[in-house]
Amino acid sequence: MNRRNFLLQSTAAAAALPAAALTTMPAHAAAPVSGARPGNPIGVSTYSFWHFDEQNPVKIEDCITMAGEMGFDGVEILEAQMHRKDNAYLQSLKRQAMMAGLAIYGLSTHQTFLSPKADIRQKNIEITIASIELAYALGIPHMRVNTGRWGTSRDFDALMANRGIEPPLPGYKDEDGFPWVIECFEKCLPTAEKCGVVLGLENHWGLARTPEGVLRIHKAINSRWFGVTLDMGNFLEDPYNRLEAIAPVATHVHAKTYYGGGVWYTLDLDYDRIARMLRKHNYRGRVSLEFEGKESPKTAVPKSLAVLRKAFNAA
């Protein structure tokens, strides 16, 4: 049979097949999926490996190594954990992360603008601007910021024992602090815009302890370079409704886990519920683990990653 006759007979045979035979395809012949990312990238804060334990310092480069080995998508750096900030060190961290297939996507910082003393506020503006420039040197696009605290608690343990509530300084009230905080952040914004670093106010303590406080500051500043870091573990009461209130303006997300019991407290969080809520508000950014339990990070952090992958990669 020559080639022309073979093709003609094959075509005729196919035309004679029942429709059902033509539509029944083996599983391996199904149309390929698009390959689109199913959910949010999951990263880990270097804080997860350290917890401010001065007796057991953990270097940033060691955190990057562990994050890569555990299978995270990226790393967020806690600035207070850095033992060096010279340019050679910063560039070595960038190279290490690149070779491990990780993005360095966030810098978590501390500042306090909640003070009646203008010189203290100015010092903290300068600290924050230096942190923005540090983020720029590391190629980091997002930086966690805080309002700061009144400082009337004996220490952080006492603040946590009081559920994050702290009385103002004598002679002042919380209302006095909002103009100070807003003005200080506004003075940091030109540097943030120049460096391409979004400042994300965390629902933390101080004036950002409530969603109303977070949203008041966010609305007043009204800048595309000023967003919100949504922390799942910092609303100790009625967390879901409060998280829902700030979700529409979230530019970054912190996920808390507490294997072994929390260092300061433990929350029983429904990660699937929070993930659905964030998807509803079209949050496509990173989810950054802040493990805050007493179990060894070597076992608890991988378990946390599995929980977050399941929740945030669900259809």
Give the confidence band of 83 by pLDDT, cuts at 50, 70, 90.
very high
pLDDT of residue 24: 47
SS3 of residue 111 by DSSP:
coil
Give the confidence band of 163 by pLDDT, cuts at 50, 70, 90.
confident
Q: Which residue has the tokens 């799942």?
A: 232
Q: Looking at residues 31-58, what average pLDDT do you find?
A: 87
Question: Where are any strands of DSSP class E within the chain?
Answer: 42-45, 74-78, 103-108, 142-145, 198-202, 226-231, 250-257, 287-291
Residue pair 147/221 in contact by the 8 Å Cβ criterion: no
Domain residue ranges of the chain, discontinuous segments joined by +: 79-231, 233-315
- 198: Cβ contacts below 8 Å, ≥ 6 apart: 141, 142, 143, 192, 224, 225, 226, 227, 251, 252
pLDDT of residue 31: 62
Q: What does the DSSP assignment read for 238-306?
A: SHHHHHHHHGGGEEEEEEEE-TTSBSS------HHHHHHHHHHTT--S-EEEEE-BSS-HHHHHHHHHH
Check pLDDT > 70 for residue 315. no
Single-letter code of the amino acid located at 6: F
pLDDT of residue 28: 53
Q: Looking at residues 12-17, what average pLDDT do you find?
A: 46
Q: What is the pLDDT of residues 207-238, one digit of tens each?
A: 999 999 999 999 999 999 999 999 999 999 99
Q: Looking at residues 200-211, what average pLDDT do you find?
A: 96
Q: Looking at residues 86-114, what average pLDDT do you find?
A: 98
pLDDT of residue 160: 83
Q: Looking at residues 103-107, what average pLDDT do you find?
A: 98
79-231 under CATH 3.40.50.2300, yes or no: no
pLDDT of residue 4: 47
Give the confidence band of 155 by pLDDT, cuts at 50, 70, 90.
confident
Give the span between the Cα atoms of 46 and 61, in whole angstroms: 9
pLDDT > 70 fraction of the chain, expressed in percent and rounded:
90
Lowest mean pLDDT among 28-32, 119-123, 139-143, 274-278: 28-32
Give the confidence band of 32 by pLDDT, cuts at 50, 70, 90.
low
Joined tokens for residue 269: 């969080």
Residue pair 260/295 in contact by the 8 Å Cβ criterion: yes
For the chain, the average pLDDT equals: 91
Q: What is the pLDDT of residues 115-140, one digit of tens each?
A: 999 999 999 999 999 999 999 999 99
pLDDT of residue 54: 78
Q: What is the pLDDT of residues 292-309, one digit of tens each?
A: 999 999 999 999 999 999
pLDDT of residue 53: 81
